[in-house]
Structure 1
Amino acid sequence: MSSGSLQQPAFIRFLSSMALSSLAYQMLVVAVGWQVYDLTHSAMSLGLIGLMQFTPQFLLTLVVGHVADRYDRRLIVVGTRLLQALLVSILALGSWQGWIAIHGIFACAFLLGATRAFESPAQQALLPSLIDSSNLPRALALNSSLREASVIIGPALGGLLYALHPEMVYWCSAVSFLLSSVAMSLIPKPAKIVHREPPTLRSVFAGFSYIRHNPVVLGAISLDLFSVLLGGATALLPIFARDILNTGPWGLGLLRAAPSVGAVVMSLLLARYAIRNNAGKIMFAAVAVFGVATIIFGLSESFLLSFTALLVLGASDMVSVVVRSSLIQLETPDEMRGRVSAVNFIFIGASNQLGEFESGVTAAWWGVVPAVVVGGIGTLLIVALWMKYFPALVQRQQLTKAVS
């Protein structure tokens, strides 16, 4: 397998577009989180940002999957990123002119969640058509490493720009979304025609049906859902940065970037040394490490220890991402990848955005430290339960499709 097999113009443009979009979003996350906490000083408000993004993703799950399987996936991504650039520009204007309020930020978060609901399944389903299937695991690892590299730069840059002028973050994010849209528009239409199955009740629910009848994929997706739902603490980082670790926006940017630093290192290792055996056991071990790192972060009062715990957290999560993504993409027929990716995206959205809401609620009830520590313990309990109820996933050896 030659490295040149990944050096295809369409794939490179796809990577460029994805990295620019990820950079824009991560800068945006830092700015919105700090601005909301500045306006409200409320953990619940930080959690509501996640709920605002998750709600449209949940409501549109069935629609976006069919759209991704019936229409040009490139154009879907191009259109959604243009809309994202427009929404972020509104935040920039509001911050610059001083009329932005918490309800306006929540409204923009809701609309951004709606655009991402259409964008993500189309982008995920597009990738396998741009690369040979034998190279897909390596392509996914490379895709993840580049995305995470942009996630390292984005939060640090976003925190620095916010410390100068809040609106500067939003303007830079809007420009990055715009450039991402341009890069995606330069990808030629794939030669393989997507089978446009007419919409029926059965076809609409085909993604759910596929996952429900595949215990390996169901176990992998649901493990990620519940472990990150309980163990995620990113929504509370502004509180940890300001009130516990005594740092400012720049320190928050570093904390935001830390999981991605760990993820980049791990994804580069996985691109060089692919998982060939014991994939299921490796995935469970990684999720357990994720839970332990979450507990350590919650208990830490040292910036260095907190940063290190987030490094380990990101590295362990990347293992789960690569295993789950490879299983889904390699075992799903192209004509229904959009619907399966839409279901996968709602699971990811639930674990991330809904997890942020869960963190905000529990932090408001118990305090930020108990909320994070209990979440990490919950992740370890989920690992134990899933190893019992999904033995096929535990015993899974390779990431390629199992031969029956």
Structure 2
Amino acid sequence: MSTTEPTSPLPASLPTTPLAIPDYRKFWIARFFSVVATSGMVVILGYQLYDVARGEYGMSIAEAAFQLGLLGLAQFLPLFLLTPIAGLVADRFDRRNVAGLAMCIDLTVALTLALTTGSNLLSLPLLFGLAALHGTARVFIGPALSSIAPNVVPAALMPKAVAINSMAWQIGSVGGPAMAGLLFAAHPTMPYWTSTALLALAAACTFIIRRLPPPESNRDAHPVRQIREGLSFVWNDRFLLGCVTLDLFAVLLGGATALLPVFARDILLIDGQPVGANGLGIMRAMPGLGAALVAFVLARHPITNNVGNKMLLGVVVFGLFTVGFGLSTNFYLSLLMLIGIGAGDMVSVFIRSTLVQLHTPDAVRGRVSSISGLAVSASNELGEMQSGVAAALLGAVGAAVFGGLGAIAVTAAWFFLFPELKAVRTFAARYR
């Protein structure tokens, strides 16, 4: 593996934007459609689970909030168990086929939810089972799809590509929940039928990307040794280890968005009435809106200096706005706090994603992406579990405040434990 100097200006023969590359456009569309579909589907699934727990099972607010935590755990367990295998699959097989087939699994989840919702057959075991199947699909989509971009985009364009990737993710995260909330209000099955159609389109766009054969070095190596190599690579690289664990522990504690169904149904009011499913869709979209606005700015004016400290600062901003959301009793102020949560998180995610891609050789990129994806999913899904437990003990407000303060404390600790993070000044491609 050869080292390189920091990214240089683009040669005249190269495009000035990743969107000029046909395969990247297909990748971007697939990513966007899949995020719109799954983010909306998961939000409505969570709302239905909370509503079924409160209505059909007669649970208290605390008990139903704990079920939301268990929902996060149900999505995380497949990720925890299958991540090493998913990373290996992404490095040994054509990544577009791996991602496309996994999207078809998510399509099956959406179709099942549409049919069972329409037939009034929802139950907690069914919802937990479908959440676990969604987690299984995600564990294969993540490393395979995220590893496609570096294969079709020149290294010099990767910072812009990461920002545009994030726009797909964040715009989808805005539009998906908001659209799902409105569709759910019109008819409970409509969000799921829409997700089914969008996932079919996403899978189709993924399959028509040019063939991406795995690196030659991965074809004959023993699978167990390859899994061990991926884990060892991250563990022995303190920079990568710091990036991955920062996201893991900071967002693990700051997972206030898991409690949004509680705030929508039982805490935040408009004219004396709970904001309900429509309010939930709007709230769930606000972090994505904040992140999309930041991603748009970064796509035009990428961060180029002092990137390590700015990554850490983004997590601090995320924690501060999480505390603000927990303390807010006004629906519209809560929306602003959620926008701030997404904006702070986007700065950190943009820098971390770019650095991880540029600091990882292609031969292990799928495995490293799967480990990074596990950390992200652990922080999200286990963060939901932590938030559910904390809400049962401290109440939803106390859990959100505790989580935001915890994210700030983790960032302060990582500032000293991993000096490699703050030492990074620019985006330098360590590997081709």
Bin for the TM-score computed over the shorter chain: over 0.9
- Once residues 144 and 34 of structure 1 are traced to their aligned partners in structure 2, the CA distance between those partners, rounded to angstroms, is 26
Q: 1:135 — aligned with what?
A: 157
Gaps of 5+ in 2: 1-9, 55-63, 270-274
Aligned partner (choices 6, 10, 20) of residue 7 of structure 1: 20
CA-to-partner distance for each residue in 1:161-220, whole Å, 9 max, x for gaps? 111221111111111111110111111113785532422543212222111121122111
Tell whether the 8 Å contact from 1:69 to 1:194 is kept in structure 2 after alignment. Answer: no
Q: Distance in 2 between matches of 1:82 and 1:167?
A: 19
Indicate the residue corresponding to 2:263 in structure 1. Answer: 240
Q: Deviations over 1:214-247 (max 9, x none)?
A: 1122111111111100011111001111211120
Whether the 8 Å contact between 2:92 and 2:215 is mirrored in structure 1 is no
Query: With structure 2 as the length reference, what TM-score do the two structures score?
Result: 0.91
> Is 2:287 aligned against 1:264?
no
Query: In structure 2, how many angstroms separate the alpha carbons of the residues matched to 1:391 and 1:131?
Result: 30
Residue in structure 1 matched with residue 397 of structure 2 by the alignment:
369
Cα distance in 1 for partners of 2:213, 2:105 equals 27
Distance (whole Å) between structure 2 residues aligned to residue 379 and residue 90 of structure 1 = 36
**1:35-74, aligned counterparts within 5 Å?**
35-41=48-54, 42-74=64-96
1:213-224 map, 5 Å: 213-224=236-247
What is the alpha-carbon distance in structure 2 between the residues aligned to residue 114 and residue 287 of structure 1?
28
Give runs of aligned pairs for residues 105-124 of structure 1, distance below 5 A: 105-124=127-146
**CA distance in structure 1 between the partners assigned to 2:17 and 2:80 by the alignment:** 39
The aligned amino acid for 2:386 is E
Amino acid across the alignment from 2:248: L
Match of 1:397 in 2: 425
Instruction: Indicate if the aligned counterparts of 2:26 and 2:206 stay in contact, CA closer than 8 A.
Output: yes
Unaligned 5+ segments in structure 1 are none
Show the 5 A alignment for 1:132-211.
132-190=154-212, 193=215, 195-197=217-219, 198-211=221-234
What is the aligned partner in structure 2 of residue 322 from structure 1?
350
The DSSP-based 3-state class of the residue aligned with 1:195 is helix
Q: Which deviations, in whole Å up to 9, do the C-alpha atoms of 1:116-171 show, x marking residues without a partner?
A: 11111111111100111110110010010122111111111101111122111111
The question of whether the paired residues in 1 share the 8 Å contact of 2:249 and 2:379 is answered with yes
1:234-271 deviation digits (Å, cap 9, x = unpaired) = 11001111211120211111100100111011111111
Q: CA RMSD in A?
A: 1.4
Q: Which letter does structure 2 place at the counterpart of 1:22?
A: V
Aligned residue pairs: how many? 403
| 2:25 equivalent to 1:25 | no
Shift of residue 293, structure 1, vs aligned partner: 0.3
The 8 Å contact of residues 33 and 172 in structure 2, kept in 1 or not, is answered as: yes
Does the 8 Å CA contact 2:17/2:160 hold for their aligned counterparts? Answer: no
Q: Quick one: which of 271, 277, 281 aligns to 2:309?
A: 281
Q: TM-score, normalised by structure 1?
A: 0.97
Matches within 5 A, 1:295-334: 295-334=323-362
Contact 1:259 1:315 in 2 (8 A): yes
State how far apart, in whole Å, the 2-side matches of 1:109 and 1:190 are. Answer: 30
